[in-house]
Amino acid sequence: MSYKRPILARYRDPLELIWLATANRLGVQVRRDPGVFANTDGEGVILIGNDDLDPDDNMAKMLFHEVCHWIINGRESVRLRDWGFDYGDPPDTREHACIRLEALLAQPHGLRLFFAPTGKFREYYDRVGDPLQMLEESDWEREVQVLLQRGLALAAEEPFGSSLQSALAATAELQRALLPFQDDYRSDLAGDVLQPLWFRDLV
C-alpha cells in the first residue's frame, strides 16, 4: 500500500513571514513577479521580483524600501501606480528622502546596514551620515529634508508606527538569536566566500 505523506504546512523564511504579516497589517498585499524588480499596481499590491537579485538582497529589505516610499510620497500614494513616480524621469527628491527615512527607522534597531537599499541609490545611502543633516547646502538637499520631516510625522501615525516598529524589533531579535552561531557557520555552497548578512556589524 502506497503512502503519501500529508503536507499540512509550508516552510517560510522567518524574516519573510514577519514582513509579509507587516504588509497585511498595513493593508497591502505582496506578490512575487519575475517580470519586475519592485513596483506597485495602484490597487494595494506591491510586486517584488525574484530574479536577478544581488546576494545581499531579500524580500524584507525591498518591502521596507517600498513602504518608506509610500510614507514619503503620502498616505494616498498607495492608490497610485509606483507611488506616483514616473520612472522615465530622472530621480527626484522623494527618492533621497525615502532613503534617509529608511536609515532613521532602521538605525535605532541596529539594522541600518541590514536594510540598506540596493541598486544605484545605495551610493547616496552610504554617503549619508546623520540622516537629519544635509550633505551640502543646496535647494535639493533642503527639499529632501522637508520631505523627510513630513515622512517622519506620517511614519509615527497608524498604521505605520506600530507595524513598522514591531517588524524592525522582530528582525533585530532574529539577528541576536543567530549571532551565537556565527563562529561555527560554514556555507553549504561550494566556493561561497560571502559572510551571511545576519552576521555583519549592524550597529
Extents of the domains making up the chain: 14-177
Distance CA 41, CA 47 (A): 8
Are 30 and 73 contacting, i.e. CB atoms less than 8 angstroms apart?
Answer: no
Strand 45-48's sheet: what is its strand order?
29-32, 45-48, 38-40
pLDDT value for 147 = 98
pLDDT value for 203 = 53
Q: What is the mean pLDDT of residues 139-152?
A: 98
Indicate if the pLDDT at residue 202 is higher than 60: no
What's at 86, amino acid-wise? D
Query: Quick one: pLDDT band at residue 125, thresholds 50, 70, 90?
Result: very high
Q: Which DSSP string corresponds to 53-82?
A: --TT--HHHHHHHHHHHHHHH-GGGGGSGG
Which residue reads 495602484 in cell numbers?
42
Q: Provide the whole-model pTM.
A: 0.94
